[in-house]
Chains A and B, each alone.
Chain A
Amino acid sequence: MTDLQPLMDYATVKTWLDGLRKHWGGGVESGDEERLEILEAFCGFAGKDPDSVIDECVLVRDGEKRVRAKGRRRYANLITQFQAQVEGSRMTRGKWGNTVRSFLIHNGILLQAGLQAGDSETAT
């Protein structure tokens, strides 16, 4: 991967942040700086820029956009590996993984990773 451009120059990053605002309403932008930092770290980990990540999860057949199962599976696994190497609590690792998942989800790539909460008492 060549050096990343500023992340906001990538169409998929704009789609992501727009999607977050549109879906969740005001107030979410306060977390943008941390989001972008995490996405940048993931791009470094995967050796891909944001648009390429989404491209690899999508294929166009007969003019229709479809999810590429193989690509989605690959990135679902990569995200799991990515969050596993993050230092900190399980909650922190989950947050990093979920931030990247959110990037894919708001670009139309359905992804479910299950519970990332760390402590059983949080889910009683």
Chain B
Amino acid sequence: MEFKEVIGNRRSIRFFEPDKPVEREKIQTMLEASRLASCAVNAHWAKAIVIERDKLPEDKLEQLKTPVTALNVELAPVHIYWYADLGVVNRIEGSRLRELVDVGALAPTHGWTHKFVDEFVYPQILRPMTEGPGYAVAAAADCGIAMCQALLTAFDEGLGACFSAFNSNIAKEVFNVPNDWVPLYVLLVGYPAESPAAGGQRPRPPFEEQYYDGAFGTPFQRDEAVVERLKQANMIQQPATPGNQERMDEIKRLAERLGLPM
């Protein structure tokens, strides 16, 4: 699938085929995509624990459910629990930055040397950063990039997926999560039981409310010719509309088939 179409086809899928297993190679492909994500100081905070739902003891699966995720946790055959490993920076002490210097990704042209990493970057920037109040936020933002690549890859592989919050205390105990990992989201993965369009692309705020040109207050003007080109490329697709009878009928059919309340 073309890149723009993958973005256009992504939906938060909430109806999975509960009994259709997900091939392990597809999960690996998602994780491979995640590993290749852009990452500040090459630290790689994002960590994931992959859980096959049917391999979890029933009581543990029950414990992992929250009032808002119980159904999806039960429907999705694979759960990927994502964490920010806050300890990584002080464990690697800049060694991955030195690797970037060695392979020419960071070069003296931009001021980078081993000496700079060892004498300044790690002791004066990175280590103090790990003690600052914004550290977890920065690490989580970085993890978001890696998680997004896994998410989009799921759709490229013909799967459906949806991020959800999860019961981190229970997960920590059940999955033996290290103390310095901060819980982020669980990515629920499976084959969609709903149609690929799933009612259309979800409502979004107007483009001009989100993005600014030069300074806050000056909206970045949306060029309709670009919008048209992205429609042709299937990145911008039919939007979901309120009360779409076709979508309502689809949900009714799913509710009946899966035994869900209406």
Contact = CB atoms under 8 A, between A and B. Distances in A.
A20 B260 CA distance: 14
A101 B19 contact: no
Summarize A's interface: helix, strand, loop or mixed.
Answer: helix
Contact of A24 (B67, B252, B257, B258): B252
Given A25-B245, A98-B259, A98-B262, A124 B20 contact: yes
A74 to B, nearest CB: 13
A114 B68 contact: no
B163 to A, nearest CB: 17
Contacts of B17: 123-124
Interface residues of A, number: 28
Contacts of A91: 259
A111 B259 contact: no
A22 B243 CA distance: 9
Contacts of B248: 23-25
Contacts of A94: 259
A28 B261 CA distance: 13
B18 interface: yes
A99 interface: yes
A95 B258 CA distance: 11
A104 B245 CA distance: 24
7 contacts: A24-B262, A99-B261, A112-B67, A112-B70, A112-B71, A116-B260, A117-B257
Given A112-B70, A114-B70, A116-B258, 10 more contacts: A25-B243, A25-B248, A95-B259, A101-B261, A110-B68, A112-B65, A112-B68, A113-B71, A115-B74, A115-B260
